[in-house]
């Protein structure tokens, strides 16, 4: 059976996360329903990561096996036709090797978190950003973030229901970008690692917000990390500002797609 790589964009607001669940709307369920309009007996698809309820994606990656040998462009067009009622789009499609796996072949994931800092309601960006109404000390937030880059035990910043075998991860990048425009002051958090723990990004951003408003000193982030205790974490921020932005592979499966 030919294997295909799919790059998928979605608004996670209407969904109960990526992973298929009985009787609940999920992104995986929507994509598999579209695929079964093309081939009713396809097996389930695999994905690079399982995003939570309300989390979005710019570059989720999945793979599927089909009986028919589709031209990738035609497969992408057919899937998008059947997905048109959902806030989901296949933005690239390519043939993949039989042993290529969207999750296990990946070398890194990159997440984007968008935080809008302004008093007025977020009318156009509602559901797409986390709105914070107090001014933030971005330099202090960057100083706090610096403590988290590198190889650490991230027990403090993982969910109590996280199923990862180890809390030890290497955070390769944590950068805070500022953007100012008519919509207000936006902070964009860019985080990159081979893999992430459950709720790790939202725990980190929620903690750094505490630094930004002056409730925490930047060095408190280091103390929280060293505590290796979930109770030492700041509040977990809401999901609507979080995007799975990119999944990296030794060779880009979509090069030339």
Cα–Cα distance measured from residue 218 to residue 196, given in angstroms and rounded to the nearest whole number: 22
Q: Tell me, yes or no, if 98 is annotated catalytic.
A: no
- Measured at the alpha carbon of residue 58, what is the angle toward residues 56 and 62, in degrees to the nearest 5? 95
> At which residue do the structure tokens 């929507």 appear?
30
Q: Which entry of 41, 52, 65, 229 is annotated as an active-site residue?
A: 52
Helix (H) or strand (E) holding 156: none
Phi first, then psi: what are they for 156, rounded to 5°? -60, -30
Cα–Cα distance measured from residue 95 to residue 72, given in angstroms and rounded to the nearest whole number: 7
Cα–Cα distance measured from residue 234 to residue 240, given in angstroms and rounded to the nearest whole number: 18
Catalytic residues, which ones?
52
């Amino acid at each position: 059976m030919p294997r295909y790589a799919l790059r998928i964009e979605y608004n996670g607001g209407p969904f109960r996360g990526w992973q298929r669940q009985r009787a609940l709307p999920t992104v995986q369920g929507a994509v598999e329903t579209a695929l079964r309009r093309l081939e009713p007996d396809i097996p389930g698809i695999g994905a690079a990561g399982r995003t939570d309820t309300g989390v979005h994606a710019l570059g989720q990656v999945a793979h599927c096996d089909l009986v028919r040998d589709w031209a990738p462009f035609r497969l992408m067009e057919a899937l998008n036709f059947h997905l048109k009622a959902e806030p989901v789009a296949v933005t690239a499609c390519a043939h993949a090797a039989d042993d290529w796996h969207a999750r296990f072949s990946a070398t890194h994931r990159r997440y984007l978190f968008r935080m809008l800092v302004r008093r007025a309601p977020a009318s156009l960006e509602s559901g797409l950003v986390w709105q914070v109404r107090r001014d933030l000390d971005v330099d202090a937030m960057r100083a706090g973030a610096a403590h988290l880059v590198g190889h650490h035990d991230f027990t403090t910043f993982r969910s109590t229901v996280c199923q990862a075998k180890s809390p030890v991860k290497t955070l390769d990048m944590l950068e805070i970008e500022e953007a100012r425009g008519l919509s207000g002051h936006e902070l964009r958090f860019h985080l990159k690692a081979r893999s992430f723990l459950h709720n790790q990004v939202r725990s980190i951003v929620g903690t750094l917000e505490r630094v930004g408003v002056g409730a925490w000193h930047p060095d408190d982030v280091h103390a929280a990390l060293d505590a290796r205790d979930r109770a030492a974490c700041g509040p977990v921020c809401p999901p609507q500002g979080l995007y799975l932005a990119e999944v990296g592979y030794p060779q880009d499966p979509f090069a030339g797609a």
